[in-house]
């Protein structure tokens, strides 16, 4: 996942928003009309992977997005937490060396939780990443998946 962010937002600017997003580990590209060297430097030093000034060619934006995604794809493929190992490349989870069967959604949820274990995650973000839709307060889907993971790994 990658986010493209404008600096000029209605209630707070993109640089301020970046302070909240950066701890989540989501790669960001600024795409904005603010073209001064000061703004570009602030964007890059705030943690953005890239900074593009409007107007731009879509093909260039796509190339830059692909570069960032390739860089992030090279992240550690195996994540270990206590006696649980998650191999994202092969979509395999083991507990104490024994393979654990998970549904694709359970695997995605576990991966998000393990990659962000020291970060508070909002339900809305998890829901959007896994199910690709807006979170609904009435939905118990996320709760049920978390409950199942707790049962499996306890």
Residue 1 reports pLDDT greater than 80: no
Q: What is the CATH number of domain 3-73?
A: 3.40.50.2300
Instruction: Give the C-alpha separation, 57 to 112, whole Å.
Output: 33
Instruction: Give the C-alpha separation, 86 to 111, whole Å.
Output: 7
pLDDT score at 74:
60
Is residue 62 classed as helix, strand or coil in its secondary structure?
helix
| pTM as predicted | 0.54
The answer to whether the CB of 79 falls within 8 A of the CB of 117 is no
Query: ∠ CA 16-59-15 to the nearest 5 degrees?
Result: 5
The answer to whether the CB of 32 falls within 8 A of the CB of 61 is no
* Residue ranges of domains in the chain: 3-73, 78-153
Fold assignment, 78-153? Arc Repressor Mutant, subunit A (1.10.10)
Tokens linked to 111: 């991966």
pLDDT per position as a tens digit, 84-128: 999 988 899 999 999 999 999 999 999 999 888 777 888 888 888
């Amino acid at each position: 996942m990658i986010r493209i962010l404008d600096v000029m937002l209605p209630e707070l600017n993109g640089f301020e928003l970046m302070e909240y997003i950066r701890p989540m580990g989501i790669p960001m590209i600024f795409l904005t009309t603010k073209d001064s060297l000061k703004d570009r430097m602030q964007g890059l030093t705030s943690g953005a992977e890239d900074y593009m000034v409007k107007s731009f060619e879509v093909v260039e934006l796509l190339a830059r997005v692909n570069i960032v995604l390739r860089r992030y794809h090279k992240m550690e493929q195996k994540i270990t937490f206590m006696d649980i190992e998650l191999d994202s490349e092969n979509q395999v989870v083991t507990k104490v060396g024994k393979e654990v069967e998970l549904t694709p959604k359970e695997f995605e949820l576990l991966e998000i939780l393990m990659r962000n274990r020291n970060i508070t995650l909002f339900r809305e973000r998890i829901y959007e990443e896994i199910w690709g839709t807006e979170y609904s307060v009435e939905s118990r889907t996320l709760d049920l998946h978390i409950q199942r993971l707790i049962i499996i790994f306890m």
